[in-house]
Structure 1
């Protein structure tokens, strides 16, 4: 269930070396991940936050392979993965691709928490939609 979006490097993200500053790669992945979560999973961050449910990151691991440059048009992928041991955690395996070559790869892990506190959880509507996705094997 891979989701793909195309983006163009924002000129403001270019550093003194004329490449994208490392800080911005997770942002491009976030744009794609949030669109996937909203469009495919039906979880609207704004609506859910108003209802007291916040989806939050618990960790991420990112590996840089090559750099994006000014004017590059690239793809960002997003694939959900279930956690083997914790039903309250959801993983998203993501890549940034330029000309079909990996630029950056990452796994973002998250959960939901109520604004009033309590234990992390995944809403039933999400777990139902993700019942058939593979489990994360721990690899990038």
Structure 2
């Protein structure tokens, strides 16, 4: 299932070259991913943190294809993928799109850890959602 949110480049995210600074692309992806986690996975980052469960990123890869400019309106997508090795981690494949063209694409990998320390794990609710998710092959 592809989850989509729309955003507009903020003027303060523009650099001296009149394009969006590369550091902000992952932020827009994070906004979308956090909404996806809450809306689709039913996992509230804030509520779970209060219960001692932190969802964290373990890695990400990002590819910049085109640049965004001040005032551009674009969409960010998010899709859930299961781990090929069955490790306790989840993958979010994301894209920033504008005018049906890929601007940026990335894969974010995350897991949950106890706030007090301990081994990575996935809550049962997320494991259940992963059963119907495709496996990330790349």
TM range (shorter): over 0.9
Q: Tell me if 1:105 matches 2:105.
A: yes
Question: 2:91 — aligned with what?
Answer: 91
How many residue pairs match? The answer is 138
- The TM-score with structure 1 as length reference comes to 0.97
Unaligned ranges ≥5, structure 1: none
CA-CA distance at 1:117 after TM superposition: 1.2
1:93 CA displacement = 0.3
Q: TM-score, normalised to structure 2's length?
A: 0.98
Structure 1 residue 74 corresponds to structure 2 residue 74:
yes
Unaligned runs of 5+ in 2: none
Please, what is the CA RMSD of the aligned residues? 0.6
Q: After the TM superposition, which parts of structure 1 deviate over 6 Å for at least 4 consecutive aligned residues?
A: none
Tell me by how many angstroms 1:130 deviates.
2.0
SS at match of 2:133: coil
2:4 matches 1:4 = yes
Q: Which residue of 1 aligns with 2:26?
A: 26
Q: Which residue of 1 aligns with 2:48?
A: 48
Aligned-partner Cα distance in 1 for 2:17–2:111: 36
1:112 shift after superposition = 0.2
> 2:62 — aligned with what?
62
Once the two structures are TM-superposed, the CA of residue 86 in structure 1 deviates from its matched residue by 3.2
